[in-house]
Amino acid sequence: MARTADPRAKIELLRSAEAVFAQKGLTAARIEEITKRAGLSKGAFYLHFESKEAIFRQVVESFLARCRACMLSPDEVENLPGDPAEVVQFCHARDVEVYEFLWQNRAILAILQACEGEHVYLMRAFRDEMTSNCRMWIELWKKKGLFRDDVSSDVAAALLSGAYHELAGKMISAPKRPPIDEWLRQALSVFVDGLGTPTLSHAIARFQNRLRVSKGIG
């Protein structure tokens, strides 16, 4: 009867690969380093993965799929809020949820930031996903009369996704978890004032007052 594979081997390899790719990037990461870290041989690596590129793709693509699942688009959300005050709360809660996910996966995010050459499509895919998601939400809020019409959805999406992406970068480069809730509250305030109609701007002002009271901040 055949010897059975160690059920933990593949998982250890994936974990080690993630860590080494995050630290070194794809090019400088070596199979030797990954396998040593996982406590396995180089030969064993090729029993589980076809190539260096194959494991790289698996690490990153599974993250992108989970990321995709986390960033819902408007037609994937049930019971969309209508009231401006609820819209503001909804957006903040969603931002916090996405950034919690990104914080938990900050190693892979660091990998993505450093994709080069033929793998730059992965980084591009991630950023395009963010931009596209932003654009869909922007168009919904425009349709509901909550966002201004004179800024094109493309430009607005680029500004939003660029800004939030930079916040993500700032978050993952911090030595320990920063006050991301507060960052997101401020960011939301800036963009609601910048892109929102007066109705929505009033709602953000009230939302912030409520947050301050609940945190005991004068």
Partner DNA sequence: CCCTTTACTGACTCGCGGGTCATAATAGGA
Partner DNA sequence: TCCTATTATGACCCGCGAGTCAGTAAAGGG
The count of chain residues that interact with DNA, using the rule CB under 7 A, is 23
CB of 1 to a second copy, least distance (A): 46
DSSP per-residue letters across 121-169: HHHHHHHHHHHHHHHHHHHHHHHTT-B-SSS-HHHHHHHHHHHHHHHHH
CB of 41 to DNA, least distance (A): 3
* Residue 129 token pair: 């996903």
9, interface contact from DNA, a second copy, none, CB < 5-8 Å by kind: DNA
Residues near a second copy (CB under 8 A) are 24-28, 114-118, 120, 131, 150-152, 155-156, 158-167, 169-170, 183, 186-187, 189-195, 208
CA distance 189 to 204: 6
- 118 touching DNA, by CB under 7 A: no
Q: Is 44 in the site for DNA (CB under 7 A)?
A: yes
Q: Check residue 213 for interaction with DNA (CB under 7 A).
A: no
**Type and span of the H or E element at 195:** helix 180-195
Establish if 42 lies at the interface with DNA (CB under 7 A): yes
Cα–Cα dist 28/31, whole Å: 10
Q: Which residues, in sequence order, are bridge partners of residue 147?
A: 196
CB closer to DNA out of 52 and 119: 52
State the CB neighbour count (10 A cutoff) for residue 67: 21
Structure token digits, residue 196: 């929102």
Residue number with CB closer to a second copy (6 or 128): 128
Among 11, 53, 69, 143, binds DNA (CB under 7 A): 53
Q: Which residues here bind DNA, judged by CB under 7 A? A: 1-6, 9, 28-32, 40-44, 46-48, 51-53
